[in-house]
Amino acid sequence: MVDFYYLPGSAPCRSVLLTAKSLDIELNKKLLNLQAGEHLNPGFLKIVNQRLYFDMGTLYKSFADYYYPQIFAKQPADPELYKKIETAFDFLNTFLEGNKYVAGDKLTVADLAILSTVSTFDGAGFDISKYPNVAKWYETAKKLPGWEENWEGVLEFKKFFD
């Protein structure tokens, strides 16, 4: 069962409900009271959403900022942008300190999103081993269902580097 914090009137939340029903996934629905600020309390802010935003706005962004100009515009590598990748991996390494997964002790959708990003870095030749917590998590995450298809996608993307 998956915890699902939601508002019944929210279209994005309803799309998750529809998807879960279609896939026969049982949700533990937890109603959020936005007027009471429940979405802003420290406990709520610590869960999955933050890690998803981290992936989108920091980790994957650092990949795109550094590698895309090289791949698609044939520009030289920018060492300052590479430092942002290292900073993002330092953050991820810290998130994983004492945790099995990126948002705590349970697998969440954030792990899946970050797995696809980290595996893309791996395909690009980035040295993940310099970040021991990330490397340990990554080895565990490679055993998740769907890993093979994810890696096939990485190998497709890797062709841009050749």
User: Could you list the active site residues?
Assistant: 10
Partnered with residue 28 across adjacent β-strands are 3
User: Within 2-128, where are the H helices?
Assistant: 11-22, 42-45, 48-54, 60-72, 79-95, 109-123
Cα 15 from Cα 37, distance rounded (Å): 23
Partnered with residue 29 across adjacent β-strands are 4
Would you call 38 exposed, middle or buried from its count of C-beta atoms within 10 A (0-12, 13-18, 19+)?
middle
Cα 93 from Cα 28, distance rounded (Å): 29
27-to-39, 65, 157 alpha-carbon distances in Å: 19, 36, 34
